[in-house]
Structures are given as C-alpha cells and as structure tokens.
Structure 1
Amino acid sequence: MKKIKILHIAQSEIGGVTEYIKMLLKYMDNNKFEFYLIGSKQYESQKNIFKELNCKIITVDMKRKISPKSDWKSILNIRNYIKNINPDIIHLHSSKAGALGRIASIFLNIPVVYNAHGWAFDMNLSKKKKLMYVYVEKILARFTDAIVDISDHEEDSQKKYKIKPKKYTKVIYNGIDLERYNMKYDIQKIKQKLNIPSNAFVVGMVARISEQKSPESFLKIASKLQEKLGNCYFILVGDGDLRSKIENLVDKCGLKNNFLITGWTNEVPKYISIFDIGILTSKWEGFGLVLAEYMAAKKPIVAFNSGGIPNVVKDNYNGLLFDYGDIDSFYEAIIKIKNNGEFREKLISNGYDVVNERFNVERVAKEHEELYLDLVVNV
C-alpha cells in the first residue's frame, strides 16, 4: 500500500507548535504515512530531531510580521516545494503559516488542513485589527478543506465569526507525550547543578517569552512571593522576543539571584521536575498544553482563566484559576497550595487522573490519522 504523504508547514517560534508536530510524528503510523515539514529558518536547529522522527525537513525564510515583499517570496518558495513533494495532505500550523501555506496551495488540488493553535483575533487587539484578522481567516477558509480546533473555546470563536472551511471543522483536544514524564529525576542533583538552594520553594513556568504569555505578570507574582516567603526560586523555561526586557525587569525587581531563564531546551520535563508549583500567566491561550505537562509531572497548577485553559483546568479541582491580571489572588493561591498539604495533594491527584484520561497524545495522533484518511478518501 502506497504511503500517504503529509506535509506540515509551520512558521512559529520553537515551542508548543513544534512539540505538537513532533508528537504527531512520533505516534502516527509510519507504515501508513510519510512525513515532510516546511519550517521557518528557526527550525534549522531542529533538523536532526525531525530526521530521527522520520520526517524530511526543509527550511525557508518565513517572517512572523507581515511584510508583502518577504511574504510573497515565502509563498513562491513554499509553492515550489509543495509541487516537488506532491503531498496527499497539507497541514498548516498557526496563523502566519496558515496564510502563506493556503495562498501557496491555491489551485494545486491538494486537501488542506488548518490548525490555528489559538486564533490570532482572540489576542488583545484593537477592534480594527481584530476585524482585519477575522476577515482574512474568513477569506482563507474558502481554500481550507478542514479546520482543527484544539479546544471548545477555539471552536466557539470560530463559530462566532462564521469562519467556515469547505468541508468541516473537527475539535481534537490537545495532548502530551506521557512517556516523557515517566522518568525519575534526582531533584536535589538538578538543583545543585543549577545553583538552586536545596530547600528553596520553586515556582516555574514553561512559556515563550512573548506578549501572549505575559511574563511581566510572572515577575509581579515572583516579587510578592519573595517578599512574603523569602526563600523562593523562579524558573522561566523558554525564550522569545521579550527576553531582554524581562531580564532587565528581573534585575530591577532584585530577583537576579533567584531567577533562571533557561532559553530553548529539549529538557522541559527535567526542569518541571524541580517545580513545587507550575503556573501560566497567559493573556490569551488556544489550549495551554503546558498545563497538561504539569499535571503529568504531578505538579499543582495556578493559572489565569484565559481562552481554552478551562478545557484543561477545572477550578478548585485540578488547579486554581483567576481572571487575567488578578495578581493578588494568584499570589495568595500559591501561598495556599504551599501551606495546605492536603489541598495540594488533591489538586495533584485529580490532575494526574485528568491528564491520563483526556490528554494522552496517542489519542490525538489517532484522531489525526482518521481525519487525514477521511480527506484522502473523500477528496
């Protein structure tokens, strides 16, 4: 039987989208599918990893910001690669790759799947800019066979603005590779290597350092905790365009000796293992996949109640949620979890059950296989 060629296209910075694609590659049936990836130049550092996952990778120049001249060059390059690869399915990830990829694939008669991973118009935007993004998505939906939403919130936003693909929308809740969190780590050894005091109370967040994730909120919370407890350590696992700004704020807040920014890393589970609490301070969020990672690692959660996060965390059951910007309640919740062992264990136990029942990536991979097969058969 001839293998079905799946071409993924992604522009986004290394982070959640990249991990999502890696998980699909790892758990989908290699006997049925053959995988390709067109990624931005940032994916150069990931080439060996994708090759190990039996995915042929090509990098092209794709800018995050809108640039007519640069974007047109990207579209022409992507179109040429699409023609050379001749895939059976094109799967586009996030808004920029979604726009470039759909324009590049017009009239090629190849089924197109689009996953926004959080709609751009759900961001904190001016009314004019929001409507512009909605209009663009509605137009591009005419060249999209299927849209994958990763949360109920994402589907609700799509329905609200009447964004209709040619065939259908499918909600496929996000998932994580639980296998990565079955490893046992020597927490004290890791702390020692990172120069973290052995008895420090560690609050951590895994996130791209960008406006969306609101790292300045993390700093406000960190300052309050350090003032109250005096024996805290804070870890931000990730990188991004606001890193320099956040590093300057860390200094101004007097947290230089208590704060670590790891940069991009393939050792996320290792860092999460030393968290006492995992947090997420996003302004908007399509899903909040890292919250499932915290649960798999048996860490209690505090987060802002943004976008699709309630699909992952039920308040007061497997975590605590607060309105975006409510720094005082967020900080007090961390104190409560630290001081109340019984409550903390309840959140951890419920979270571990939830992630195993609902967010196993093997289920995500199977649902994608079904989607791809349906599109190929019914094209």
Structure 2
Amino acid sequence: MGKKIKLAHLQVLPIMSGVQKSMFDLISRLDEEKFTVTVICQSEGELTDVLSKSQIPFIVLPSLKREINLFYDFKAFVNLIKTFRKNKFDIVHTHSSKPGFIGRVAGKISNVKCLVHTVHGFAFHEFSHKSSVFIFTLLERLAGKFSDKIIIVNDQDYRYALNKKIAKMDKLIKITNGINGNDYNRKVNFLKKRLELQVGERQQTICSVGRLWKQKDPATFIRSVPLVLKQFPDCCFLIIGDGPLQLDLEQLIKELQIEQNVKFLGWRKDVNEILQVVDIFVQTSLWEGLSLSILEAMASGKPVVATNIKGNNELILDGENGFLIKPGDHEMLADRIITLLSDRQLAERFGKRNQDRVVNEFNIENVVKKTEQVYQEIKFH
C-alpha cells in the first residue's frame, strides 16, 4: 500500500447546513486506506461536533469569516498560508465562493500540489446585480487558473463556467450532490413521532427545511398558508431550521393569524424521521446549487413543490415528480399544495418517482467514487 493522500477540506461556518452536510457525507466515506482528511473551518460548532464523533481532525481559524471584511480576509489568507505550509497537504479542497477564492490563492502561494474547488452554486445568481455578476465572474476566472479541478453540482452552473471561460473544459467536472437513501426510508413509529411533534394522526402536514434567511425566502411559504387553510383548515405547517429572519417570520404569522397551524421546530437532528411522517415537502429558495433538502425529501418518498430555479429544476420535473413554481409566488405555491392535498394518488406517484430518482441518479456512493477518482487523477497526473 502506497503513501496515503493527505487532504484538507476548507469550510467557513461550523454549522450543518447543506454545504457542510454534503462535505461530511463525502469525507466520512472516503477510503481510509488511501486518504487522510482534515477539515479547516472558522470555529467549533455543530460541524466540529460531528467531525469529532467520526474521529475526523479539524483546524479552527477564527479569522475565516463569511462576510467580506478586508482586515479579517487578509488575516485568514495569511493564516491559511501558514496552515498549508505547516501541514503539507497533498490536496486542498475548498467549498463555496469566498473560502474558495482565498483558499485557492493561499494554496498556490503555499505550493500545495493540487487544488480542488466545489461550486455549490456561484456567489452570483438570478437576483444579483449585473456589476456583481461581472466582478465575481472575474474572481472565479482568476481562482480557476489556480485550480487543478473544479467540481460543479448542476448543469446550468457547469454551462456558465464553460461559456464565461471560468476554466477550461478539462478542469471542469460535474458531480452532483448525493445522499444515502437508506437513511430516509427506515421505518419510523408514525404515531409516536407525530405525537412528539404535536401533530394529529390524520392531520395533513406540509414541511419545509432550511436556514431562515433571505436565500430560502421562508416568507413565501408562510404567506401560502392562509390560502391553503381556506380549503384545508386543519393542515399543519412545519418549519425546520432557524436563522436571522425568525422574529420577522413569527410576526408575519401573528399578522396572518395562523399561529395554530404553523410550528417552528428549529434545527433538528431527526429530519430523516420527520420527513417520514409529513405529506408534502416545500422549498421556496431564490437560488441554490443542488438542494440537499429536496434530495432528502425525495429519498423519503415525498412529493415536492419547489421554486423553478437552477438546481431545483434538475431535481424536480414539473408535473412528473413534483411541481415547480415561480420564485416568490405564494399564490401559485398554495395552488400546488392544494392540488397535492386533493389528489393522494398523484402525491403518492410523485413520491415513488422521487425515491427511484435518488437511488438511480443521486446515490452518495457514486459521488464518493467519482470524487476519489478526481483526487487520484490530479495527484498522480
């Protein structure tokens, strides 16, 4: 057995949101006889707790910040150079836009042998100003020159990277997110879980999962509730996640007088179990890479109503395994929820197709295999 490849994965936030979950699902399944992995992130938190339980080492760099701050960004840049030189990683794999840029430039200066970056959705999106798109595209091109491989999780971002010459085709590869479907179709005690959630045994339940902030647009989900309740007055709406918009959303719920029908559950470690006992999954994001929460709902055999944005429209084919709606359109969202509540056979058909798609197209083991091939190809090229 040859020498193991020494990997570092660079994140910022120590939470377990979609990007962090995708990274953890990958690194926790890498062949231990071929790879060693260290995670670099801003601080200790839920992510580092999970890493510790899996005996995956991590390095904390407090200067890593999500927001742009020239002082901290320069400090993080210097600290990354020191960290890379000290640990002599064979491959540094960065995630998301800002750590992706700083990490790749620092890696180049530190003479890291191989640099990999995953685009979980570019920093610019459908709602970005043209000047922002122009600037971020230039930065991505610059970082692309330092990259040995750029992994992109959806078709539209892949085509954009090619068309805008962010990198040459031989540096780009599409590897979607993936999940372990078995985690989402295990038998759950339906009555016990519903009792725990304070949801009635026969109460039709709609669920949304995501951080409560601008990108996820949770207000659109909440504004759809009164329209659904006009036809199905006993429905329950579950919101899993927390974030900076929670107080505003609680106020909106009071204004709409729907407090009895909407429950905030906060972040949960039993999302896979909760998804087993709900009827419909809703996702109202304004932009995404490739939504892990939608994949989780699909694996759970649930019909999905989601916004028609890049990534989402690769997972959900309108009218075939769910419905796509215009971003921000709470009336259209309510209409599609009502359609599914009114037609159980349609909902079940969508759910079955979703489970089949996850097994056939979004299996985490395939993601791991393809990524290991990327590592080995660039390391021994």
TM range (shorter): over 0.9
| Matching residue within 319, 322, 327 for 2:322 | 319
Could you tell me which residue of structure 1 aligns to residue 271 of structure 2?
Answer: 268
Aligned equivalents of 1:117 and 1:319: distance in 2? 23
State the 4+ residue runs in structure 1 displaced beyond 6 angstroms.
none
- The amino acid of 2:156's aligned partner reads H
Between 1:177-186 and 1:208-217, the stretch displaced more is 177-186
Could you tell me which residue of structure 1 aligns to residue 88 of structure 2?
Answer: 86
Whether contact under 8 Å (1:91, 1:112) holds in the other structure is yes
In the TM superposition, residue 352 of structure 1 has moved relative to its aligned partner by: 1.2
Identity %: 28
Structure 2 spans left out of the alignment, 5+ residues: none
Could you tell me which residue of structure 2 aligns to residue 51 of structure 1?
Answer: 52
Between 1:352-361 and 1:45-54, the stretch displaced more is 45-54
User: What is the DSSP-based 3-state SS (H/G/I as helix, E as strand, rest coil) of the residue aligned with 1:122?
Assistant: coil
Aligned equivalents of 2:200 and 2:228: distance in 1? 16
| Matching residue within 292, 307, 324 for 1:289 | 292
Aligned equivalents of 1:251 and 1:245: distance in 2? 10
Could you tell me which residue of structure 1 aligns to residue 345 of structure 2?
Answer: 342
In the TM superposition, residue 375 of structure 1 has moved relative to its aligned partner by: 0.7
Whether contact under 8 Å (1:146, 1:165) holds in the other structure is no
1:34-54 alpha-carbon deviations (Å, 9 max, x no partner): 01000122x433323112333
In the TM superposition, residue 261 of structure 1 has moved relative to its aligned partner by: 2.2
User: What is the DSSP-based 3-state SS (H/G/I as helix, E as strand, rest coil) of the residue aligned with 1:261?
Assistant: strand
Could you tell me which residue of structure 2 aligns to residue 8 of structure 1?
Answer: 9
In the TM superposition, residue 23 of structure 1 has moved relative to its aligned partner by: 0.7
Whether contact under 8 Å (1:236, 1:261) holds in the other structure is yes
For residues 233-244 of structure 1, the aligned pairs below 5 Å read 233-244=236-247
Whether contact under 8 Å (1:200, 1:233) holds in the other structure is yes
Structure 1 spans left out of the alignment, 5+ residues: none
Could you tell me which residue of structure 2 aligns to residue 74 of structure 1?
Answer: 76
| Matching residue within 351, 355, 374 for 1:371 | 374
Whether contact under 8 Å (1:121, 1:131) holds in the other structure is no
| Matching residue within 205, 212, 216 for 1:209 | 212
Aligned equivalents of 1:306 and 1:294: distance in 2? 17
> Judging changes above 3 Å, is the alpha-carbon distance between structure 1 residues 263 and 74 closer, same or farther for their aligned structure 2 residues?
farther
In the TM superposition, residue 197 of structure 1 has moved relative to its aligned partner by: 2.6
Q: TM-score, normalized by length of structure 2?
A: 0.94
Aligned equivalents of 2:203 and 2:305: distance in 1? 19
Aligned equivalents of 1:180 and 1:152: distance in 2? 26
Could you tell me which residue of structure 1 aligns to residue 358 of structure 2?
Answer: 355
User: What is the DSSP-based 3-state SS (H/G/I as helix, E as strand, rest coil) of the residue aligned with 1:87?
Assistant: coil
1:294-344 alpha-carbon deviations (Å, 9 max, x no partner): 111111111111111121111111111122233222211111111112212
| Matching residue within 223, 228, 251 for 1:225 | 228
In the TM superposition, residue 290 of structure 1 has moved relative to its aligned partner by: 1.6
Aligned equivalents of 1:78 and 1:251: distance in 2? 46
Aligned equivalents of 1:165 and 1:59: distance in 2? 33
User: What is the DSSP-based 3-state SS (H/G/I as helix, E as strand, rest coil) of the residue aligned with 2:124?
Assistant: helix
Aligned equivalents of 1:169 and 1:163: distance in 2? 9
| Matching residue within 24, 33, 36 for 1:34 | 36
Aligned residues: 377
- The amino acid of 1:32's aligned partner reads K
Between 1:126-135 and 1:64-73, the stretch displaced more is 126-135
Aligned equivalents of 2:87 and 2:248: distance in 1? 41
| Matching residue within 149, 152, 159 for 1:156 | 159
In the TM superposition, residue 109 of structure 1 has moved relative to its aligned partner by: 2.5
- The amino acid of 1:230's aligned partner reads P
Aligned equivalents of 1:245 and 1:104: distance in 2? 39
1:12-33 alpha-carbon deviations (Å, 9 max, x no partner): 4530011101111232211111
1:324-371 alpha-carbon deviations (Å, 9 max, x no partner): 233222211111111112212211111111111001100000000000
Aligned equivalents of 1:136 and 1:91: distance in 2? 18
Aligned equivalents of 2:233 and 2:133: distance in 1? 43
Aligned equivalents of 2:350 and 2:260: distance in 1? 30
Is 2:91 the partner of 1:97?
A: no
1:46-103 alpha-carbon deviations (Å, 9 max, x no partner): 3231123332111222221110001111122222222222111111011121122123
RMSD over equivalenced CA pairs, Å: 1.7
Whether contact under 8 Å (2:78, 2:106) holds in the other structure is yes
Between 1:247-256 and 1:132-141, the stretch displaced more is 247-256
In the TM superposition, residue 218 of structure 1 has moved relative to its aligned partner by: 0.7
